[in-house]
A and B are shown apart, each in its own frame.
Chain A
């Protein structure tokens, strides 16, 4: 079956710009989570959506936002980009009852210059 699809794979943006990343979960998975990975901070939870509602949120500034559509696809947006936002952004999907764990996508590597 198809895995979690993230687009684009690579992105270069300039400070101050905004960016939108997309995630298509595995068919039937209704939960989508987003993570940021940097060399200094490791993997950090951003937020989780379930049935179009944000159910959990990590400790990130309001510049980071997301949404989920009725087909479970999700987008995350980062406004007013800073150099420190350069990271690998990972999306993970799961069924409501995650007995088998999350399935992660390959990520979007964002570079802010």
Chain B
């Protein structure tokens, strides 16, 4: 699986959009970008994933650059409950296999 690079921490004011970047310059053509988050002492929670098109669900939006070497997870209106560590993972989809977690980005949402 391709390696990812994320900033170690970010702050965001409640109600504002949180934009979390991820670099994955060695991504292969058949690798998807997945985002998970982990709220303190809980199991990671799946957020969204995509291959090359932008994706949106009820939790977030995922913007993938045209060359697929980077992506941004957008939480449109961050709340205090969005405070968590966010992990960007790239991997081949279609078969169950391991997830390689990096160190992620610790997002702190403040009043």
Q: CB within 8 Å of B: which residues of A?
A: 4, 31, 33, 35, 42-45, 48, 50, 55-56, 58, 88, 90, 92, 94-107
The A interface, classified by DSSP as helix, strand, loop or mixed, is strand
Q: Is A101 within 8 A of B98, CB to CB? A: no
Q: Are B34 and A101 in contact (CB under 8 A)?
A: yes
Given the known inter-chain contacts A101-B34, A101-B36, A101-B49, please indicate yes or no for A43 contacting B44, CB distance below 8 A: yes
Complex interface: chain A residues within 8 A of B102 (CB)? 42
Q: Please state if B98 and A48 are interface contacts (CB–CB under 8 Å).
A: yes
**What are the residues of chain A within 8 A of B100 when measuring CB–CB?**
45
CB neighbours of B46 from chain A (8 A): 100-103
Known: A42-B101, A42-B103, A43-B101. A104 touches B96 (CB 8 A): no
**In the complex, A95→B94 CA distance in Å?**
10
Cα-based distance from A108 to B46 in the complex (angstroms): 19
Instruction: Return the chain A residue nearest B101 by Cβ.
Output: A43
A102 touches B94 (CB 8 A): no
- Complex CA gap A105/B45 in Å reads 9
> In the assembly, what is the distance between CA of A101 and CA of B100, in Å?
13
Chain B nearest CB, measured from A42 CB (Å): 6
B98 pairs with A98, CB closer than 8 A: no
